[in-house]
Chain A
Amino acid sequence: MSDASNWTIFVNAALINNFVLAYFLGICPFFGVSSKLETAVRMGGAVSFVMLVASVCAYSINLVLEAINAPHLRIISYILVIASTVQLVEMLIRKLSPATFRAMGIYLPLITTNCAILGLALFQTNRGYNLVQAVVFALGAGAGFALALVLMAGVREKLDLASVPDLAKGTAVAMVVAGILSMSFMGFAGLGR
């Protein structure tokens, strides 16, 4: 069991050990969807929501798996639950806002293979968080993911207007931007202890 306070867990997940910039989780949508600010905000929201649901699901599954003494089924059951959650969110978004659905395109189903979500489920199990801590952890990680995505999108919108050497266009320059963002997030180290 972990005895960290809720505030520490939140700040840790959102800023100090930001999922994208410190753990490299969820890099694909981070580069894929971050070219426009509006899409980035929506994607951040969708991922945060899936994270929250997945975290609660993973917590309950882990209780069952521990009760029947079958930890080797952890990875397979987590991923199946995440896949169904994503399907659910996809259907919800399609019903509630078709425009958002079109804007997110292929990246919506790809949340399934977003390592940030499985990573979240695995980390919370490894660290032995209880239910409240797990929910706080998911909220923090979601906020951190959305923050990183929005910051990146903001920078990349400006970057469109800058003159970048042909060779570095696209992924290479995005990498450098991400590196600098990641460096600035290191400044949060020591907060929340």
Chain B
Amino acid sequence: MAIKDVSSTDEFVKGLWRENPVFAQVLGMCPALAVSNTAINALTMGLATTFVLLMSGLSVSTLRNFIPREARIVSFISIIATFVTAVDYLIQAISLELHRSLGAFIALIVVNCLILGRAEAFASKNTLGRSVLDALGMGAGFTCALLSIGVVREVLGSGSLFGMPVLPDTFQTWTVMVLPSGGFFAMAVWLLVVNRIKERQAEAEKLAQEATS
């Protein structure tokens, strides 16, 4: 049982870094780039996606023995679409302004490959507890990735963070960062950073292995 405990923490942690949905698996790129022009949009999108991931993971995992293999994709999509509709109305109720700035992208959570991917690859094969952990980990990883892109774009593009000015007035804002192309550039820079860190880790492991052998 002890082994299982270790791996269930791992179920959560892997989504944060090793299998980070955005930086490692390059899934769910559309919302990652489209709504990350400000940090608050990025955070909302991340939380909404996490909620849908969690609820669909829960449902798929519970129902996994009742869903026939042939009809699984359709069933998964229907389950996901149901929760997305709920989130859509929820955000509308909390803040109409936020709903307006995210636009159709909340509804587009349905086609986020990440959610269908996790339902198919993980929740349909694993127990309830592990699926929930996996969904939470992936959701947290997705939110972090979105937030890291959003923060860079908002600080450089409009000199503020969560709507509050953080840079002095003399700072010339980089308009390009709030424009669509800024999303691609910010993402490229983060990918480079992540690749560099991974490369260094691999080098360090290699050195450690050589030292022991």
Contacts and interface: CB of A to CB of B under 8 A. Distances in A.
Interface of A: 21-28, 31, 72, 74-76, 79-80, 83, 110, 112-115, 117-119, 122-123, 126, 167-168, 171-173, 175-176, 178-180, 182-183, 186
Given A79-B110, A167-B199, A28 B29 contact: yes
B191 A24 contact: no
B185 A167 contact: no
B85 A72 contact: yes
Given A24-B33, A115-B30, A172 B77 contact: no
B108 A115 contact: yes
Contact of B183 (A24, A31, A72, A167): A24
A172 B81 contact: no
A24 B181 contact: no
A31 B111 contact: no
B125 interface: no
Nearest to B29: A27
A21 B103 CA distance: 17
A180 B181 contact: yes
Contact-residue bracket for chain B:
35 or more
Given A172-B191, A176-B185, A186 B179 contact: yes
A123 B108 CA distance: 11
A24 B188 contact: no
B78 interface: yes
Contacts of A27: 29-30, 33
Interface string B185-213: 10110011001100100000000000000
B107 interface: yes
Given A112-B111, A122-B107, 17 more contacts: A24-B30, A24-B183, A31-B26, A80-B77, A117-B111, A118-B111, A119-B104, A123-B104, A167-B192, A167-B196, A167-B199, A173-B188, A175-B188, A176-B184, A178-B184, A179-B183, A179-B188
Nearest to B89: A72
B176 interface: yes
B96 interface: no
Contacts of A118: 107-108, 110-111
B78 to A, nearest CB: 6
